[in-house]
Structure 1
Amino acid sequence: MDSSDQADRISNLPDVLLVLIVSCLSFKECVQTCVLSKRWRSVYLETRNVSFKETDFLSPSVNANPIRNALGRIVFVDYVRRWVARIHDQPIDTFEISISYPKTYLYVIESLIAFAVRKRVKNLVLDFSNPAWRTFHDVNLDELVVEIPESVYDLATLESLKVCACNKFDPANLSNLGKLKTVSFGWMELTDPEPFLTTSRVESLTINDCWGLEFNMIKGNMREVAIINCEFLLNCIFDLPRVDILKYSGDIFPFEFDKMNTIISEVDLDFRVLDNNNDESDDSNAEGGMLCHLLNNLLDDGGRSATTLTVCPFLLKMIPRSEHPHFLRPMETKHLVLKTELHPREFNGIGLLLMNCPKLETLTIDLLPPSPIAMASSYAGIDPQTYWMQNISYECQRETLKAVIVKNFIGGAKELHIVKFFIRSGCKRLERVELYMPFDLDNGRKVFAYAKSEMLQKISKHLQVVVHNS
């Protein structure tokens, strides 16, 4: 059957099924279906998931030109207004409006929020952040002009809510929304969410680039919590007895963990915001000590463990510089994910974590783009050419390690050295090495990477080397 016959079969489906199909697409893809035929021009308007994102309509080249950007925003807002005017009786499940510099279009934004409330949507995204912002320090307070109306706080159908770059937002006003399961707050000053979190049924919480966090506890029955690049003004205690996924990105704060889940499926710690490639500062020893304390406090006290632990290059560099790195206690982690540049400054930290994960079954090496510092240079007597040739053996290698996974593998010397280390070191239970090449790798580099993977297979007696072209 050729493609035209398949297209005819899809077109012959009843409208109700076509609406279900387009509702499974992203809104941008849904809009693109209108070019298929006259019939699709009406079908795509009936999607139940509507997303008006300025970044989907304006290309980077338009944004770079102030005049073209202003004209493009006018066209975008006009398109949004015409779309909404055509919507009558059909239900809407998801509604998103994302536009920067909202002051010019406040009256339109207010009408769109009112439209979402009338449709009694289940999922609502109100995002007025600026794509040019990189951290909360970049936020211009004059741009935070949208205030969430009372009607949103009373929208009992809400199951998911994302609010970004709004003025005078108070999470406590959401306490009466019994169906609300997922919340995300970003790019604004945030008052204490504890009254809301402790009385609601929220299962997923994300706080992204918020400031002025003057609360001293994050407490609730959430299963997933992500805190990304926020400013805490007080020491904070995490009281999350049901948490299954915990992600933190940002500065180092003296966090404490109380009544946490005994087994956390996934912990992700990212402190790259502090990484200026200068670990010789006077603060590096203190930072290393704080990171060791954080790991001990989170993953050891009370017998807690993380099935999967993901760490960043900064942590790998700093924990060996603690005054007492040997105080880092063993962890029950089964899967360790190292986001790393494989710079010599990270090697001792990698070794320290391998030593303290005696039950490790899977090691993932997620290679990041190198920093400006030359990767081939030695550091403090650590030679990248010979470090992984040492006769080092960790308990996890001898007893439990089954798989080594390398992401963004290109066959370079840095990743070959460490993979050979695990192949040569007599890992009794090691079954496979998986190598994932970058999706954008050119054909010449792919051939080179494949050749290096074949070399690894030749020196591997009992295990399988698998290459994935991601």
Structure 2
Amino acid sequence: MMVEDRLSSLPDELIHKILFCYDMKFAVQTCLLSSRWKLVWTSLPCLNFSSRQFHTLHKFSKFVTHVLSHRNHQIEVSTAKLRFHAGVNQDFVRKIAEYAFSHNVQQLTVFGPSSCRHVYPSCLFSSQSLKHFTFTCISYTRLLIATEAPLDFPSLTTLNLCNIILSSDVFSKCINLKNLTLEDFCVVDMEVFEIITPQLSNLKLIDGRCSNSINVIAPQLENLTVINCSIGYLSAPPRLSSFCYTFQLWPCRLVQFSNDRFHSLNKVTIYLSKSKDYPPVLYKEEDARMIINMLQHLHSVKYLTLDADSIECISSFPDLLSQHSSRFSNLICLTIDYSKKKDALTVTMSSEARNFFLEKSPSATFTMKLPKVHSRR
């Protein structure tokens, strides 16, 4: 009885998708197991190189050279992933980048260590075809991106940079950029760091540090997310529709807006969690003042969600709240999230806090999100 070989009958497109789940070394080895698959790896539109499977960078470089030289050069590269776990050689990276860019790569992901600012060649940051770029420096030392010219990606729509130091204009030539994520970043040597992106729609700032100001020059920006960032002042465009702010290590200086021009905010979510070393009950007036000042800039919001810690803090200073008249005239719904508060039933919202939010919007819906109750069987 003959057994049907279903794997050999699979179309190349499906085989490509299967092989891209693994690094290129595994893909080449797998193809050698079948005469039908023997040359399939040479037409892979997705290149996934990882140095983890090689004892030395020299062996890794030799393997990559072999793959690129024997690949079907008529096939364009849609996606490329490069992962370095040890050292990085400039000539080696340049060879891969130039090959991918010459074959109109659309998506490029690079993970690698960095110990100095000149590890990666400048050609890695310039492409006419690239649309999605993720660059992550997996090292205790951040990579310093301080090029004489901005990143040159005119077709880029999505950019993710992680573990970097920014010290110059970076984004102004990414004229079609719509989605930008900066994670574990630091801004140095600049009084004002400008994010100049005319088409930007979504911006995420995560675990960042900037002692001075960040000026977002992006007239199309609609969604802004700021998570655990220590930023002096933040200037965002008036078109902003959604703002999500999370800070898990306060009390410390929360973000302050350098303007009061938000006119069309639809949704705002603010979560402020105290440090574990902070007294469980005691709040400082300075903390409440910073929260109130932030909220004053967001008064045009329609749907506002706050966590229990924020409400508990400002409610502890009713006299301070009384000094500020309600400005939330567009409010449709106010939600207080008690779900992450272990002692949620002990949290109270003062009448002054309620008036601060609802006095100008008496018909607004007021809801509370409570912790889930787990029933015992």
Please indicate, yes or no, whether the TM-score normalized by the shorter chain is above 0.5: yes
Q: Tell me if 1:229 matches 2:210.
A: no
**One-letter amino acid of the counterpart of residue 80, structure 2:** F
Residue 182 of structure 1 contacts residue 202 of structure 1 at CA under 8 Å; is this kept in 2?
yes
CA-CA distance at 1:190 after TM superposition: 0.9
| Alignment partner, residue 163 of structure 1 | 135
**One-letter amino acid of the counterpart of residue 277, structure 2:** N
Residue 27 of structure 1 contacts residue 50 of structure 1 at CA under 8 Å; is this kept in 2?
no
> C-alpha separation between the residues in 1 aligned to 2:57 and 2:341?
44
Alignment of 1:428-447 (within 5 A): none
Task: Kindly report the root-mean-square deviation, in angstroms, between the aligned alpha carbons of the 2 structures.
Answer: 4.5
Residue 221 of structure 2 contacts residue 237 of structure 2 at CA under 8 Å; is this kept in 1?
no
Alignment of 1:128-277 (within 5 A): 128-129=112-113, 142-149=115-122, 151-165=123-137, 166-170=143-147, 172-175=149-152, 177-193=153-169, 196=172, 200-213=175-188, 214=190, 215-220=192-197, 221-261=199-239, 263-264=241-242, 267-274=243-250, 275-277=274-276
> C-alpha separation between the residues in 2 aligned to 1:30 and 1:19?
15
| Alignment partner, residue 293 of structure 1 | 293
Question: Please, which runs of 5 or more residues in structure 1 have no aligned partner?
Answer: 59-69, 131-141, 359-393, 407-413, 417-448, 456-470
SS in 1 for 2:289: helix
CA-CA distance at 1:232 after TM superposition: 0.9
**One-letter amino acid of the counterpart of residue 98, structure 1:** R
Alignment of 1:30-429 (within 5 A): 31=26, 35=30, 38=34, 39-40=36-37, 42-53=39-50, 57=52, 71=55, 79-89=63-73, 90-103=75-88, 105-129=89-113, 142-149=115-122, 151-165=123-137, 166-170=143-147, 172-175=149-152, 177-193=153-169, 196=172, 200-213=175-188, 214=190, 215-220=192-197, 221-261=199-239, 263-264=241-242, 267-274=243-250, 275-280=274-279, 284-297=284-297, 299-300=298-299, 303-305=300-302, 318-320=313-315, 324=320, 330=328, 332=331, 341-344=340-343, 348=347, 395-397=365-367, 415-416=372-373
Label 1:118 to 1:337 Cα distance change in 2 as closer, same or farther (>3 A): farther
CA-CA distance at 1:225 after TM superposition: 0.2
> C-alpha separation between the residues in 2 aligned to 1:319 and 1:28?
53
How many residues matched? Answer: 329
Alpha-carbon deviations, 1:363-400, whole Å to 9, x = none? Answer: xxxxxxxxxxxxxxxxxxxxxxxxxxxxxxx9424xxx
> C-alpha separation between the residues in 2 aligned to 1:337 and 1:29?
50
SS in 1 for 2:164: coil
> C-alpha separation between the residues in 1 aligned to 2:78 and 2:145?
26
Label 1:348 to 1:96 Cα distance change in 2 as closer, same or farther (>3 A): same
Label 1:108 to 1:217 Cα distance change in 2 as closer, same or farther (>3 A): closer
SS in 2 for 1:247: strand
Sequence identity (%): 11
SS in 2 for 1:207: strand
SS in 1 for 2:128: coil
Residue 102 of structure 1 contacts residue 143 of structure 1 at CA under 8 Å; is this kept in 2?
no
| Alignment partner, residue 12 of structure 1 | 9
| Alignment partner, residue 66 of structure 1 | none
> C-alpha separation between the residues in 2 aligned to 1:357 and 1:27?
53
The one of the two structures with greater contact order (alpha-carbon pairs below 8 A, sep at least 6) is 2
**One-letter amino acid of the counterpart of residue 289, structure 1:** R
Residue 249 of structure 1 contacts residue 270 of structure 1 at CA under 8 Å; is this kept in 2?
yes
Residue 18 of structure 1 contacts residue 43 of structure 1 at CA under 8 Å; is this kept in 2?
no
Alpha-carbon deviations, 1:96-124, whole Å to 9, x = none? Answer: 22324435x44432322232233231222
Alpha-carbon deviations, 1:202-235, whole Å to 9, x = none? Answer: 1111112222342244443311101111221313
Label 1:168 to 1:344 Cα distance change in 2 as closer, same or farther (>3 A): same
Residue 147 of structure 1 contacts residue 167 of structure 1 at CA under 8 Å; is this kept in 2?
no
CA-CA distance at 1:239 after TM superposition: 4.4
SS in 2 for 1:232: strand
Alpha-carbon deviations, 1:237-295, whole Å to 9, x = none? Answer: 4444322321112244343445332532xx33221244531334999542343233223
**One-letter amino acid of the counterpart of residue 68, structure 2:** V
Question: Please, which runs of 5 or more residues in structure 2 have no aligned partner?
Answer: 138-142, 251-273, 359-363
Alpha-carbon deviations, 1:425-458, whole Å to 9, x = none? Answer: xxxxxxxxxxxxxxxxxxxxxxxx5x55xx9xxx
CA-CA distance at 1:32 after TM superposition: 6.4
> C-alpha separation between the residues in 2 aligned to 1:322 and 1:73?
61
SS in 1 for 2:97: helix
> C-alpha separation between the residues in 2 aligned to 1:53 and 1:338?
43
